[in-house]
């Protein structure tokens, strides 16, 4: 006895966007609390290694929540979203751990500092996005926008990093960090909406062109039938004349 496939219920875009923001910002806040708990007063190397290990289950939970939302919004089964996200995040974190040792930059020149900070922070965001892009491109024609969004998020994070290093007001560091996560979630949420809207537009355009072609074929068939009907009486008159 064959099992019937359950249809995925479609989620409207306003609800998807709202839940996307809540999920990503909420998990970022949880991750920050875990970071402050498991890494108190340790050296930077030990702190980053502990955070890397502790972030694995958090990234898995975040990816699971994301894939639940995406499956209802896209109406597609994104089977490998969770493992790809976790592996991509780990690779990005490892690259981020290595790069600061091999790249130096001058903080006295603002533009140079921003570009180099962008490059240093990019692996954290771009590497997981590339892993996710490998899956999204099977369903969304404009999936490359997802990588572009990760670069934009890296730029926003570079601005936050500059604010953090300036330390003009320590009381504003946490609100600034929350603001960064909200901005990053807005960027990724809007880009996901754009990719889906473009994909649906392409589907509607293809459907319209197919319907036009079907109409042309039907018209040609009707014309052929009419011409055959006109030829039939003529052949009958010729037969009667003989």
118 inside domain: yes
Burial zone of 201 (CB within 10 Å; 0-12 exposed, 13-18 middle, 19+ buried): exposed
228 inside domain: no
Strands, E assignment, the chain:
none
Residue 6 pLDDT greater than 70, yes or no: no
pLDDT at residue 2 in the model? 45
3 inside domain: no
94 inside domain: yes
56 inside domain: yes
DSSP 220-234: HHHHHHHHHHHHHHH
Residue 94 pLDDT greater than 50, yes or no: yes
235 inside domain: no
Q: How confident is the model at residue 33 (pLDDT cuts 50, 70, 90)?
A: confident
pLDDT at residue 42 in the model? 59
Residue 51 pLDDT greater than 80, yes or no: no
Residue 1 pLDDT greater than 50, yes or no: no
The rounded distance, in Å, linking the Cα atoms of 66 and 71 is 9
pLDDT at residue 212 in the model? 47
The total domain count for the chain is 1
161 inside domain: yes
Closest CA to 51 of 6, 99, 96: 96
Whole-prediction pTM: 0.77
For 106-165, write each residue's pLDDT tens digit: 555 667 777 777 788 888 899 999 999 999 999 998 999 999 999 999 988 888 877 666
For 62-78, write each residue's pLDDT tens digit: 999 999 999 999 888 89
Give the residue with greater pLDDT, 210 vs 120. Answer: 120
Q: What's the distance, CA 198 to chain centroid?
A: 13
Domain range for 50 = 13-203
75 inside domain: yes
């Amino acid at each position: 006895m064959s099992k019937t496939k359950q249809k995925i219920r479609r989620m409207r875009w306003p609800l998807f966007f709202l839940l996307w923001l809540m999920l990503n910002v909420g998990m970022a806040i949880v991750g920050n609390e875990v970071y402050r708990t498991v890494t108190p007063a340790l050296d930077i190397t030990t702190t980053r290694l502990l955070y890397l290990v502790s972030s694995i289950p958090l990234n898995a939970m975040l990816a699971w929540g994301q894939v639940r939302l995406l499956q209802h919004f896209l109406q597609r089964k994104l089977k490998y979203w969770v493992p790809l996200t976790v592996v991509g995040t780990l690779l990005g974190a490892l690259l981020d751990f290595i790069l600061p040792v091999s790249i130096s930059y001058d903080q006295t020149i603002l533009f140079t500092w921003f570009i180099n900070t962008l490059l240093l922070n990019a692996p954290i965001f771009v590497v997981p996005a590339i892993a996710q892009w490998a899956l999204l491109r099977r369903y969304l024609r404009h999936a490359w926008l997802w990588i572009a969004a990760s670069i934009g998020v890296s730029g926003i994070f570079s601005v936050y990093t500059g604010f953090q290093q300036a330390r003009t007001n320590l009381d504003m560091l946490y609100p600034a960090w929350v603001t960064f996560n909200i901005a990053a979630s807005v960027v990724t949420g809007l880009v996901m909406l754009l990719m889906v809207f473009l994909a649906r537009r392409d589907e509607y355009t293809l459907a319209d062109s197919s319907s036009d072609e079907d109409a042309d074929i039907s018209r040609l068939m009707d014309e052929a039938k009419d011409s055959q009907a006109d030829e039939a009486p003529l052949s009958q008159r010729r037969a009667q004349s003989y």
